[in-house]
Every structure is written in C-alpha cells, then in structure tokens.
C-alpha cells in the first residue's frame, strides 16, 4: 500500500508547478496554486459547519472546477467523498444518501433543491451546501470559501477512508465500495506508471463521479501534475460531439479516457478535427468494437487502446503495446505491481490461453464491500478480488476479456453464454441490439433463455427463433423474444440486465 495520501500529492503539485494549469473548464483556468487555495478554504468552511473526519459528504455536482476542489477538500479533511450521479432522481439520491450515511451534500443549482428535500426527511442532520444561491439556498459554497487564506491541511493517514464508490449494480443492488487514501494514492501512482506526466492534458468526458473519470481525471493528475480539460455536461454525448472535438483540438489534449460509444460518435462526426496532440486514447467500460477502433484510427490518426478497470480498484490493465493494431482486442497487461490471475472454479490458475475467471491483487484494491461479509468472503480471497469477469492471458501476459462469469445461464444441465446467443441475434439484419438473459424455468434452478431485442424493422419473434435455430444448439435458442425500443444501460453503457428479466 502506498504510504502517501492524495492530499500530499496535491501539495507536491502546488509546490512544483503553482502557476501551471490544473483544471480547464468553460474558459476558466485554475492553476495548481489556486486549486490548493480553494481546497484549503473549502475544507475550513466545511469544518466550520461541523463536518469532521469520518463524515460522509455526497457530491451531487456536474463536472466543473468545484467538483475537483470539493473532491480534494472533503478528503483532505478526513471526511469521506461520496460521488453521486447528478442525473439521479429523488429515490436514487435517497438510496445513496442512506446507504452512504451521508452527513453533508454539496450540490449544484440543478440538484440543490431536491437534495434539501431529501435531507429534511432523513434522520439526523444533513447539511446541504449549494454552488449558487439561485434558488434561495441558505448555505453556498461561495460563503464557505470566503475570508483570508486558510491554513495548510495536515497529511491524512493512508488507512483513512477516502471515498465510497457504488458498484454499478449491473447484476444486483449497488454495493458500497470504500477505498482509503492509500488505495487512491496507489491508483494515482498506477496512472503515472503508464507514462503520464505534467506535460499531459487529459480530456475529461467521462463523468467525474464514475470510478473511470475519478481515476483518470482526478487521481491521475494529482500524481502526475497533468492538466484536466473538462467537457461540460458530457451527456448526451451526441450533443457535445462538436464541442468535444473543438476542445480536444483547441486545448491540445494528449490523453482521452472514454467509452466505445464516444469514440464511435467521434469517428462518425461529419467534420474532422486536428487531434495531432492526442497520444493516448483509452476505451473502457465495455468491449471496443473493431469498426469503432478502425474508423477512429483512420479519421484521427490515433489508435484507441482498451483499458480494464473495476469500481473496486480503479485501473487494472491497459493496452500499452507500441502498435496495438494486432492486439486491439486486448485490454493489455496489468498496470504497475498489479497481478492478474486467470482461475478455474476451484480458484486454481489455468494455463495461458485458457479462459477462466479474472482475479487480481492491487495496491489500489478496496478491503471489501461495506456490510456485506458473505459477499466479501467469496469475492475477496487470498489477497485477490474475484471479478466475475471471464478472461484469458496470452503467452506475453496480455489480458483478453471474454464475458461475465456470473451471466452463464443454466439450461437443461447445460451452461449457456448469453453473449454467444447475442452475437447470433445481432447478425440478423433486422436486429439493432440484443441482450439475452435467463428467466426462471420449469424446474428449480433451471432457466429459460429470453432475448430482449431492439428491432430495426417490423420483425417477428418466429423469424428470430428460426434464425437462431439454424445457428445454435437447440438449448441455446431463445424461447421468449421480447421487443423493446431500447436496452436499459448504466451511465457508462453497461447493460442493466436486472431490468430485462
């Protein structure tokens, strides 16, 4: 575990490059010196309002310099950052506030009202700080940072809790994932080991509340001194595509952490842009389709590399091959001192090339989920986290992700990989998107294969079933086909299968 806390990394940047840009947003340029000054003031203001070490503070903020300052101020105080999707509706916010045992909420003007209503209904006092007083909010962030410069903040203990992330819950209820200062500083150092430096300008188009955005756009700059260039309100990305290209070009961004959907939309943009400064594009979240990899590379002259991460540990592996054309399907080798093992059902390592469950150890890995001892005993063993993802390592140690272990369906004594069935369905000319799930079958523990399909044209279920029958063993063929307008997805594009069963 790293002996340094993220707060110390922040001070190191202020000492080494006080006048260099730390955050660029909407024409505003915040230097490292200014950022640390804001962090100190905000920490003082929060403390004056009763926030102490160990208190959970939710950030319900769009991506902007206040998000960056709040993230560092809350943690520098020893309080716990609870990043929240600002698009959440009241019930979702309430779930996070309760599960996170939140004592304070920092909310922007669009969310402050609903946060105040929720806070009023929760047991125990919850302080709401708004980024503006546009709606008559009583406590504003401007008031908190007023006054003379604040004192330097003490370094935090590496074992203190830094953040509560929530796992996306693509297969169940979101789990609270606590990570310490030491673990977050270790993740920051992992990004530095990928060759990021103070010269880099990281384009932030992944929400900062997400582990991917938090790691690549908040922790990585803290370790390296890189500048983060924030795309305002990245969703929906189609409406920000023009702005994204303008920013990437004008700000000469060098690193672009994204998701496949974004790279696809940029590759399809009618106009081009000069992205010659861009040296590293990382795609994470879901598998990068070959067409997107090729189209983006052709249009902008930079190849998209796959990166693999988890809410529990941040970045795990990244494809840093000098020429990733032949290996673009790989998420690369484990980063830094991370150790990835591919194991069978008994937890034994399988030979190179064979598919098994991906398990790994990392200095950035959480110690376990909050209040879920049973789950922890299964998921965290022998110093490793068992991801539930299926993958293989090639002879050179590159990792390839092959699907989700937990998704295998039990049908008549056979295991069915839904991805295999989905691949067949999407090959049908009238199918835009397809997700295959298991629904309870006739016998206990038995499942029936169900396909949820977004059709392109008028298309009936018998036609699709016939198509599958021609290409798949009978037990893999969907027995139920449901047509929908869209597939429910998490903010990063992960399919939320629980809503399809």
Residue numbers of the site for other proteins (CB under 8 A)? 87, 89, 110, 233, 235-243, 245, 261, 269-271, 484-486
Strand-pairing partners, residue 467, are none
**Pairwise CA distance, residues 59 & 84, whole Å:** 6
Looking at the Cβ atoms of 420 and 482, the one nearer to other proteins is 482
**Pairwise CA distance, residues 78 & 13, whole Å:** 20
Looking at the Cβ atoms of 20 and 269, the one nearer to other proteins is 269
Edge-to-edge strand list for the sheet holding 102-107:
127-130, 102-107, 56-60, 80-83, 161-166, 176-180
Looking at the Cβ atoms of 184 and 273, the one nearer to other proteins is 273
Looking at the Cβ atoms of 233 and 367, the one nearer to other proteins is 233
- 351: its two tokens: 């030979």
**Shortest gap between Cβ of 11 and other proteins (angstroms)?**
37
Residue 25, SS3 per DSSP: strand
**Pairwise CA distance, residues 328 & 342, whole Å:** 20
**Shortest gap between Cβ of 183 and other proteins (angstroms)?**
32
**Shortest gap between Cβ of 433 and other proteins (angstroms)?**
9
Looking at the Cβ atoms of 236 and 383, the one nearer to other proteins is 236
Residue 440, SS3 per DSSP: strand
Cβ atoms of 340 and 393 closer than 8 Å: yes
Closest CA to 446 of 497, 405, 412, 480: 412
**Shortest gap between Cβ of 61 and other proteins (angstroms)?**
15
**Shortest gap between Cβ of 451 and other proteins (angstroms)?**
17
- 406: its two tokens: 């937990």
Looking at the Cβ atoms of 238 and 352, the one nearer to other proteins is 238
**Shortest gap between Cβ of 276 and other proteins (angstroms)?**
20
* Contacts by residues 430-434 (CB-CB < 8 Å, ≥ 24 positions apart): 430/455, 430/456, 430/457, 430/458, 430/459, 430/463, 431/455, 431/456, 431/459, 431/464, 432/456, 433/486, 433/487
Looking at the Cβ atoms of 271 and 373, the one nearer to other proteins is 271
Residue 191, SS3 per DSSP: helix
**Shortest gap between Cβ of 471 and other proteins (angstroms)?**
26
């Amino acid at each position: 575990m790293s002996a340094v806390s993220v707060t110390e990394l922040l001070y190191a940047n202020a000492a080494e490059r006080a006048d260099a840009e730390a955050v660029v947003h909407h024409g505003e340029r915040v230097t490292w010196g200014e950022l640390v000054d804001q962090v100190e003031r905000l920490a003082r203001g929060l403390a004056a309002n009763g926030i102490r070490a160990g208190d959970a503070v939710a950030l319900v903020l769009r991506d902007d310099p206040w998000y960056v300052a709040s993230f560092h101020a809350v943690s520098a105080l020893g309080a716990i950052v609870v990043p929240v999707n600002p698009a959440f509706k009241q019930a979702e916010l309430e779930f996070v506030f309760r599960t996170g045992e939140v004592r304070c909420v920092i909310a922007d003007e669009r969310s402050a009202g609903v946060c105040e209503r929720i806070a009023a209904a929760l047991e125990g006092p919850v302080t709401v700080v708004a980024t503006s007083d546009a709606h008559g909010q009583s406590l504003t962030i401007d008031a908190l940072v007023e006054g003379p410069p604040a004192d330097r903040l003490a370094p935090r203990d590496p074992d203190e809790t830094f953040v509560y992330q929530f796992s996306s819950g693509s297969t169940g209820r979101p789990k609270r994932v606590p990570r310490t200062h030491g673990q977050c500083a270790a993740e920051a150092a992992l990004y530095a080991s990928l060759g990021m430096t103070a010269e880099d300008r990281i384009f932030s188009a992944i929400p900062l509340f997400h582990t991917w955005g938090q790691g690549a756009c908040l922790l990585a700059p803290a370790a390296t001194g890189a500048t983060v260039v924030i795309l305002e309100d990245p969703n929906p990305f189609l409406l920000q595509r023009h702005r994204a290209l303008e920013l990437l070009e004008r700000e000469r961004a060098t690193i672009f952490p994204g998701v496949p959907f974004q790279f696809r939309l940029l590759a399809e943009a009618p106009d081009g842009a000069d992205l010659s400064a861009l040296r590293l594009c990382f795609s994470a979240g879901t598998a990068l389709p070959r067409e997107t990899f090729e189209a983006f590379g052709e249009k902008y002259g930079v190849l998209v590399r796959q990166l693999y991460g988890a809410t529990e540990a941040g970045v795990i592996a990244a494809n840093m091959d000098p020429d990733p054309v032949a290996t673009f399907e790989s998420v690369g080798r484990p980063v830094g001192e991370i150790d990835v093992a591919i194991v069978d059902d008994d937890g034994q390592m399988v030979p190179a090339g064979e598919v098994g469950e991906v398990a790994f150890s990392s200095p950035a890995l959480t110690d376990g989920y909050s209040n879920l001892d049973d789950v922890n005993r299964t998921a965290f063993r022998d110093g490793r986290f068992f991801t539930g993802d299926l993958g293989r390592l090639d002879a050179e140690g590159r990792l390839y992700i092959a699907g989700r272990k937990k998704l295998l369906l039990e049908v008549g004594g056979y295991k069915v990989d839904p991805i295999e069935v989905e691949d067949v369905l999407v090959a049908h000319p009238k199918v835009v998107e397809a997700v295959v799930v298991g629904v309870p079958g006739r016998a206990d523990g038995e499942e029936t294969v169900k396909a949820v399909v977004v059709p392109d044209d008028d298309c009936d279920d018998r036609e699709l079933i016939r198509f599958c029958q021609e290409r798949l063993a009978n037990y893999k063929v969907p027995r139920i086909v449901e047509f929908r307008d869209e597939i429910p997805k998490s903010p990063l594009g992960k399919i939320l299968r629980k809503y399809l069963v």
